[in-house]
Amino acid sequence: MAETRGSRSRRLARRVRQLRIWARHTLLPSDRFVLVVLLVLVTGCALLPAADAAWFPVTALVIPVIIGGLVLRMPSLMLLYAATAGVLLAQDRTGWPVDVTPGAVVVITVVAVIVMFVARIRTRLGLQGTRGESMLFDLRDRLRAHGVIPHLPPPWQSDVTLRPAGGQAFSGDFVVATRGRRGGRMLELALVDVSGKGLDAGTRALLLSGAFGGLIGSLPPRGFLPAANDYLLRQGWAEGFATAVHVAVDLETGAYELLSAGHPPGAHWVASTGRWEVREAEGPLLGVIPGAEFEGVSGVLRPGDALLLFTDGMVEVPGQDIAVGIDRLLGEAEKLVADDFADGARRIVDSASGNIADDRAVVLLRRNGSAR
């Protein structure tokens, strides 16, 4: 019985999948099919005002015009516009029961011009319908997926918060991480800040997150930033620099090495002393100097310790020294100690953001346990 039900479910799922494939490849891309449907809709919108002009005004013709601009290619869209203009002309010349006012003609014309302008942009990009928006959603989700830190064994915890400028969906800040070295003992993560902000930097951030995600873990820890620097230089972008901080942590001993490429310093919470220690490494911006060298700083995360990484949007305020912003951020972070840094990254971004007009990101790595 179980096998019969399983086979039926598989057959049903296969038929549904076949139907979706047929609809996608036969109906949706077919301009002829969609054009015929919209021409019928134009005819309906032309006839309905005679039945009840209060509910179906002449301007209802903008409905097929807008739909056509979303789903039709330019030649078919022009045919739809010609049909719409012909309907309006016929209504005006034949003494239609409902007057075609100049205002209605202006509204329909303006909407058609706007829709055609948008449709031309879609055509130049090779997109049709709402696929452009779907592509942006997919790109955003991929960028966020790259920033997921791999599962860490107890007593380790990680917390990441990325906050794009102006509430946009794209950010120039991103995180890449891996646990592939030494049998999973070694965690490597990099916090990168691409030049620019918001959507302007989002496309470059997406490209770099894929490239850097392939580099991290594939090279020795000290080889990541030089390889990332070489990659950026090869792109030849006019505004192609980036800052980055790279950390490699041994999850058994807690030993870590932090390297920086023009990035704000990291901070190490030392539970035994109850203080934050600023850990600043030396290194130039990525994508500026060929053959750049990066000097790291080392330390050990003992039980109860935490490592805090952040981008310049968290600490830089126009007209204010960055040291003031770092002090403010660490002061807010210190308030989280009593709660064992619960939801720490988000709370730090909410309370200590230096420049809300810039992308902001915080990474918090915590080793739970009591300090000895």
DSSP 8-class letter at 23: I
Looking at 129, 151, 178, which one is the last position of a domain?
Answer: 129
3-state secondary structure (DSSP) of residue 96: coil
Nearest Cα neighbor of 263 from 196, 190, 320 is 190
On whether residue 299 sits in a domain, the answer given is yes
On whether residue 293 sits in a domain, the answer given is yes
Of the listed ranges 114-123, 290-299, 333-342, the least confidently predicted one is: 114-123
pTM of the model: 0.71
Q: What is the pLDDT of residues 70-92, one digit of tens each?
A: 888 788 888 888 888 888 887 76
Domain identity same for 95 and 199: no
pLDDT at 251: 93
pLDDT at 15: 76
Domain identity same for 11 and 150: no
pLDDT at 1: 47
Q: Which spans in the chain are helix H?
A: 2-22, 31-51, 62-71, 74-93, 102-125, 131-146, 198-215, 224-235, 322-334, 344-352
On whether residue 360 sits in a domain, the answer given is yes
Residues 6+ apart with CB under 8 A from 152: 158, 179, 187, 251
pLDDT at 246: 96
Please give the structure tokens belonging to residue 307: 């490592």
pLDDT at 2: 46
Domain identity same for 155 and 247: yes
On whether residue 372 sits in a domain, the answer given is no
Domain identity same for 335 and 229: yes
Q: What is the pLDDT of residues 141-160, one digit of tens each?
A: 766 676 688 889 989 999 99
DSSP 8-class letter at 61: G
Domain identity same for 169 and 119: no
On whether residue 60 sits in a domain, the answer given is yes
On whether residue 304 sits in a domain, the answer given is yes
Q: How many domains does the chain have?
A: 2
3-state secondary structure (DSSP) of residue 270: strand
CATH number of the domain bearing residue 229: 3.60.40.10
Distance CA 171, CA 161 (A): 11
Domain identity same for 26 and 125: yes
Domain identity same for 120 and 147: no
Residue 367 pLDDT grade (very low, low, confident, very high; cuts 50, 70, 90)? very high
Domain identity same for 54 and 194: no
Domain identity same for 282 and 352: yes
Please give the structure tokens belonging to residue 366: 């915590």
Nearest Cα neighbor of 175 from 368, 359, 352 is 359
Looking at 96, 129, 162, which one is the last position of a domain?
Answer: 129
Structural domain for 162, as ranges? 138-367
Average pLDDT over every residue of 265-288 = 93
Please give the structure tokens belonging to residue 291: 């053959």
What percentage of residues in the chain have a pLDDT greater than 90? 27
Nearest Cα neighbor of 353 from 361, 341, 342 is 361
Domain identity same for 224 and 95: no
On whether residue 237 sits in a domain, the answer given is yes
On the question of pLDDT at 289 being above 80, the answer is yes
On whether residue 218 sits in a domain, the answer given is yes
Looking at 129, 151, 171, which one is the last position of a domain?
Answer: 129
Domain identity same for 74 and 182: no
Distance CA 251, CA 220 (A): 16
Domain identity same for 91 and 149: no
Average pLDDT over every residue of 162-191 = 81
